[in-house]
Chains A and B, each alone.
Chain A
């Protein structure tokens, strides 16, 4: 089921009513059934794959916990990883691997080799729920949590509908406890849930969906028609589209859970106000960055892991680990991070670019520390944001060649002398840029002060939520999926 629809809003209202009226055990049953219905509304047959992944980890985690022999525990963990990564490989990466293998054969002159015809549909949210179940089993293996014996509760953890399809990716320790605890209705949390859903829908249906046609039209242009300024504009525009789309999704997910008294960690925190590439990854898709940190990056470094979906990937690494060098570990992590997003070399390039940016930042940050903090922050922001935006080019382009072609435009002086798109595209981009900066300034310096004043809070809710809701009312229609659904 897609969030930006009337169906979801009705479904959510019903689920929330049942949640607060049912006793504990039936409530868990209701969450599990609602989550399966939620998923089945897309393609019911793919429920089986999700249940295979979840069922494997439910069983394996108990085996791991029951065993005291390290080798046996390790073997069980390998079973879980093989099943989950096997599913992920088959549905997401098999065609990519075959296609590249065939291209390699062709390169060496074996032209008769052909890509077999495959009809594989990528199950919705597979990258998210496999990561969630993997983290559960690994956490049991690491003895951070106990294996869950109640399969209904465990099923609720894996399939909990607000975060099933595109996160935030939660750890067992973050959600299982909340699901077992007796919920206590808190009107303030409930209202904040409504607020988040409204803002999330606003970002998706009013902002992201209306930016999408401009982005699509721009990226569909023949390369020869685009100027350097067009490339920069499209990078910004897509950067905003994906931010509004995914942050909108995350806000609706967090808000929906809050209506049931369940707290999710934040997934975004004004990422385009980051003053360095490292800070960007503390602010963008925080739950995935934190997951990658704890299950890939820190293990590669041989350093102790954390156990919460906060702070993201950009952490200062202390020396003394017994693993790979930080730079190598970082680059491997980033390339895998890119590849997680999709089976295309464009995503690998995107991950590689972010890895390089963070390595460069690490190298120059001791020198940057000598610059006065005000200049460092403003200058850092002014440099970081355009660079981060430009890294979105391979993420959105259809091929690496197309992305490189767009990048080359930036280095050709004559490509800066004309405009290749309608004036509205530049105006919309500039307007969004100014609006996001203004909103950040208001949020940082006036929002909390106003919130503390009773009438300030009342007026803000009436004005912003009222205005946003009416726009959501007008624009609410599932014309586009969320971008991250395809991952």
Chain B
């Protein structure tokens, strides 16, 4: 009989223990994922921009959308307008403040259908396009694309300080519009437009929810088709494998994001400082929009978006003041209407949102207000559009 030396025996035992430990660790951690992750519980895009207490809502008219959230549904908006065949159209571009309604109750809606109905009485057909955290460079692309497809006479352009901190074009919701050659040609006439085109052409875009191209590293190789088939097979046979994209989002938005906020004490009131380069780029985009609108005989209403009052604002006071005066100056210089709607929505129309930290269960929402606020916003804009059209005539 072969006798194993004691130290070799220990060696083998240790290796077996390691293997068991690895298998145990893998099984336990995957089981943990399986138990702690509830599929479909979180709308990651909404959670990152609006919070769980805010619901996005878009209106329709005659079965067609009148409010779109990007290129994916743009044709459904435009088709509806083509069928309504208006002589005068208005376009409202914005961020999630327009489509997000805090504490939405049955029968309530956001501002865009309200404004649509009131403007319709005056013969103006309104289309609204809003994207979460949309920056002004994205609005510039949308404006140039949509302007050619509607009898545009009025542009409503809300400007939010937070959006001046954003940069780049998201893919595919905005970059899809660049497939239109005329839009590209028009954009190439301005410096900021050329930069946006260059970025988009070299694939330098912001992907919604991270990259969607799971096989980007093996594109056009034999491995690409094999990998895709394997993924489909694994998805068909494993629920956990199928849920991987959702788990990735959950890890970022429900684990890392709250952990970061808790550790560093980040709250909605934490000061968001101005980012000089992005601020300049976004102002260049506003300037390009206003200049184009002027030559195209489009009346522009620029407004500072409503902001929650009664609490400390999440901006550096001096930077925010400079932003408002810069915007006013830019609007007036280009013959646009400027309105500061910062204090339009009373304190009681603002709600709370699901907490983005591990400590609290809810936190105040600076960006999204409840239905009464949307009603007030629609009324204010109705007045501004009416006034602008009167001045135009």
Contacts and interface: CB of A to CB of B under 8 A. Distances in A.
B277 interface: yes
Contacts of B22: 191, 194-195, 198, 461-462, 465-466, 469
Contacts of B217: 2, 4, 478-481
A221 B277 CA distance: 9
Nearest to B251: A474
A479 B244 contact: no
Q: Is the interface of B mostly helix, strand, loop or mixed?
A: helix
Contacts, number: 163
B121 to A, nearest CB: 43
Interface stretch (A98-106, A139-147, A286-294, A413-421): A413-421
Contacts of B29: 466-467, 469-470
A98 to B, nearest CB: 23
B17 A220 contact: no
21 contacts: A1-B223, A2-B223, A42-B221, A187-B19, A195-B18, A195-B22, A213-B207, A220-B199, A221-B277, A224-B277, A225-B275, A225-B277, A461-B21, A469-B25, A470-B29, A470-B30, A473-B30, A474-B244, A474-B247, A478-B214, A478-B218
A422 B168 CA distance: 13
Contacts of B278: 225, 420
Given A2-B223, A213-B211, A422-B165, A458 B216 contact: no
B264 interface: yes
Contacts of B260: 427
A304 interface: no
Given A465-B26, A466-B26, A470-B26, A188 B14 contact: yes
A361 to B, nearest CB: 36
- Of A226, A457, A466, most buried by chain B (CB within 10 Å of CB) is A466
B261 to A, nearest CB: 11
Interface residues of B, number: 59
Interface string B1-30: 000000000011011111111101111111
Interface in B184-221: 195, 199, 202, 204, 206-207, 210-211, 213-218, 221
Given A460-B21, A465-B25, A466-B26, 12 more contacts: A5-B223, A6-B234, A10-B230, A40-B222, A41-B226, A188-B12, A222-B277, A458-B17, A465-B21, A467-B25, A467-B29, A473-B244
Interface string A236-267: 00000000000000000000000000000000
B318 interface: no
Given A420-B275, A479-B213, A479-B215, A216 B26 contact: no
B227 interface: yes
A213 B204 CA distance: 10
A67 interface: no
Interface residues of A, number: 58
A2 B32 contact: no
B120 interface: no
A44 interface: yes
B276 interface: yes
B222 A479 contact: no
A4 B217 CA distance: 9
A462 B21 contact: yes
A457 B275 contact: no
A365 interface: no
B287 interface: no
A325 interface: no
Nearest to A417: B276
Given A6-B227, A465-B21, A216 B275 contact: no
Contacts of A216: 204
A1 B16 CA distance: 31
A6 B277 contact: no
A7 interface: yes
A10 B230 CA distance: 10
Interface in A442-464: 454, 457-464
The 3 A-B residue pairs with the shortest CB-CB distance, nearest first, are A466-B25, A225-B277, A470-B29
Nearest to B277: A225
B275 A422 contact: yes
A461 B247 CA distance: 23
B33 A462 contact: no
Contact of B211 (A227, A427, A479): A479
Contacts of B33: 470, 474
B276 A418 contact: yes
B258 to A, nearest CB: 14
Interface string A205-238: 0000000010011001110111100000000000
Nearest to A473: B30
Contact of A2 (B15, B218, B240): B218
A188 B17 contact: no
Contact of B25 (A190, A221, A462): A462
A114 interface: no
Interface of B: 11-12, 14-22, 24-30, 32-33, 165, 167-168, 195, 199, 202, 204, 206-207, 210-211, 213-218, 221-223, 226-227, 230-231, 234, 240, 244, 247-248, 251, 260, 264, 273, 275-278, 280-281
A43 interface: yes
A477 interface: yes
A186 B25 CA distance: 22
Contacts of A191: 15, 18-19, 22
A71 B204 CA distance: 55
A96 interface: no
Contacts of B30: 470, 473
A381 interface: no
A464 B29 CA distance: 10
Contacts of A421: 275
Interface in A1-55: 1-2, 4-7, 10, 40-44
A398 to B, nearest CB: 10
Interface in A390-428: 418-422, 427
Contacts of A270: none
A457 B19 contact: no
- Of A188, A459, A460, most buried by chain B (CB within 10 Å of CB) is A188
Contact of B15 (A187, A459, A467): A187
A6 B232 CA distance: 11
B168 to A, nearest CB: 7
A458 B22 CA distance: 8
Interface string A148-169: 0000000000000000000000
A475 interface: yes
Contacts of B277: 221-222, 224-226, 420
A420 B276 contact: yes
A107 B255 CA distance: 57
Contacts of A4: 217
Contact of A477 (B25, B215, B275): B215
A454 B210 contact: no
Nearest to A464: B25
Contacts of A461: 17-18, 21-22, 25
Given A222-B195, A225-B277, A459-B21, A477 B222 contact: no
Nearest to A458: B21
A479 B216 contact: yes
B354 to A, nearest CB: 20
